Structure 1
Amino acid sequence: MKKILHVAETIKGGVATVIRTISTSPEDQDANYQLVYLVPLDQKKELHGIDARQIRTFERSGRNVRSLLGFAWQLARVVLKEKPDVVHLHSTFSGVIGRCVCVLLKPWRSPKIIYCPHAFSFLMESSPTKQKIYSLIERVLQKVTDTIICVSQYELDKAAAFGIERKRMKLIYNGIHHKDEARKTEGAEPIHLLYVGRFDYQKGFDVLLKAYAKVQRSDLKLTVVGSAVNEDSVDCPPMAGVEYLSWVTPAEVQALYQKADALIVPSRWEGFAMVPLEGMALGLPVIASDCTSLPELVSHGVSGYVFPAGDHQALAERLMKIQKPALNALGIEGRRIVRERFSAALMIRQTYDVYSAPSY
Structure 2
Amino acid sequence: MARILHISEFTKGGIETHLHEVLKYQCDNHDIYLMASQQDSNLDSLAIDPDRLHIYPYKRSPKYFIKTMQCIQRMIKEINPEIVHVHGTFAGFFLRTLFLLKRKRPIVIYCSHGWAFLMDTQPWKKKVFAGIERLLSLRTDCIINISQYEYQMSMNYGLSSKKSVVVYNGVSDAPDNHLLPFNVNKDKINLLYVGRFDRQKGFDLLLEVFNDHQFMEVTLYLVGDTVLKEFDYDYPSNAVKIGWVDNSEIDRYIRACDAVIVPSRWEGFGIVAIEALRNKKPVIASNRGALPEIIQHGVNGYIFDFDNKEELANIIQGLNKNKLEMMGETGEKIFYEKFHSDKMNKQIERIYADALKKQGDLYPVTVNKYV
Whether the TM-score (by the shorter chain) exceeds 0.5 is: yes
Displacement of 1:188 in angstroms is 4.9
Gaps (5+ residues) in structure 2? 364-371
Bigger mean CA offset, 144-153 vs 69-78: 69-78
User: Which among 192, 213, 216 is matched to residue 215 of structure 1?
Assistant: 213
Give the aligned residue type for 1:208: L
Q: Deviations over 1:124-154 (max 9, x none)?
A: 1111111111111111111111000001001
Q: Secondary structure at the match of 2:33?
A: strand
* Pairing 1:68–2:65 present: yes
Match of 1:22 in 2: 22
Give the aligned residue type for 1:205: F
Displacement of 1:46 in angstroms is 5.7
Q: Secondary structure at the match of 1:23?
A: helix
Give the aligned residue type for 1:196: V
* Pairing 1:154–2:152 present: no
* Pairing 1:342–2:371 present: no
Q: Could you tell me how far apart the structure 2 residues matched to 1:87 and 1:252 are? A: 30
Bigger mean CA offset, 306-315 vs 124-133: 306-315
* Pairing 1:133–2:111 present: no
Distance change (3 Å), C-alpha of 1:116 and 1:46: farther
Match of 2:311 in 1: 314
Match of 2:161 in 1: 166
Bigger mean CA offset, 289-298 vs 43-52: 43-52
Give the aligned residue type for 2:343: L
- Contact 1:214 / 1:316 at 8 angstroms: preserved in 2? no
Distance change (3 Å), C-alpha of 1:138 and 1:46: farther
Displacement of 1:5 in angstroms is 0.5
Gaps (5+ residues) in structure 1? none
* Pairing 1:352–2:349 present: yes
Match of 1:92 in 2: 89
* Pairing 1:13–2:13 present: yes
Bigger mean CA offset, 332-341 vs 44-53: 44-53
Q: Could you tell me how far apart the structure 1 residues matched to 2:44 and 2:65 are? A: 20
Distance change (3 Å), C-alpha of 1:192 and 1:274: same
Match of 1:300 in 2: 297
- Contact 1:182 / 1:282 at 8 angstroms: preserved in 2? no
Displacement of 1:347 in angstroms is 0.4
Q: Deviations over 1:49-87 (max 9, x none)?
A: 321111001112x31012322221111111110111111
Distance change (3 Å), C-alpha of 1:238 and 1:119: closer
User: Which among 287, 290, 309 is matched to residue 287 of structure 2?
Assistant: 290
Displacement of 1:314 in angstroms is 2.0
- Contact 2:298 / 2:327 at 8 angstroms: preserved in 1? yes
Displacement of 1:310 in angstroms is 4.4
- Contact 1:207 / 1:311 at 8 angstroms: preserved in 2? no
Give the aligned residue type for 2:133: E
Runs of 4+ in 1 over 4 A off after TM superposition: 180-188
Distance change (3 Å), C-alpha of 1:151 and 1:352: same
- Contact 2:12 / 2:42 at 8 angstroms: preserved in 1? no
Bigger mean CA offset, 17-26 vs 319-328: 17-26
Bigger mean CA offset, 236-245 vs 8-17: 236-245
Q: Could you tell me how far apart the structure 1 residues matched to 2:242 and 2:174 are? A: 24
Match of 1:123 in 2: 118
Q: Deviations over 1:226-260 (max 9, x none)?
A: 111133x5433342121112211123322111101
Q: Secondary structure at the match of 1:189?
A: coil
* Pairing 1:247–2:217 present: no
Match of 1:235 in 2: 232
Q: Could you tell me how far apart the structure 1 residues matched to 2:235 and 2:185 are? A: 27
Q: Could you tell me how far apart the structure 1 residues matched to 2:231 and 2:286 are? A: 18
- Contact 1:9 / 1:71 at 8 angstroms: preserved in 2? no
Bigger mean CA offset, 205-214 vs 40-49: 40-49
User: Which among 180, 194, 198 is matched to residue 196 of structure 1?
Assistant: 194
Match of 2:367 in 1: none
Matched residues, number:
353
Displacement of 1:22 in angstroms is 1.0
User: Which among 266, 272, 275 is matched to residue 275 of structure 1?
Assistant: 272
Q: Secondary structure at the match of 2:23?
A: coil
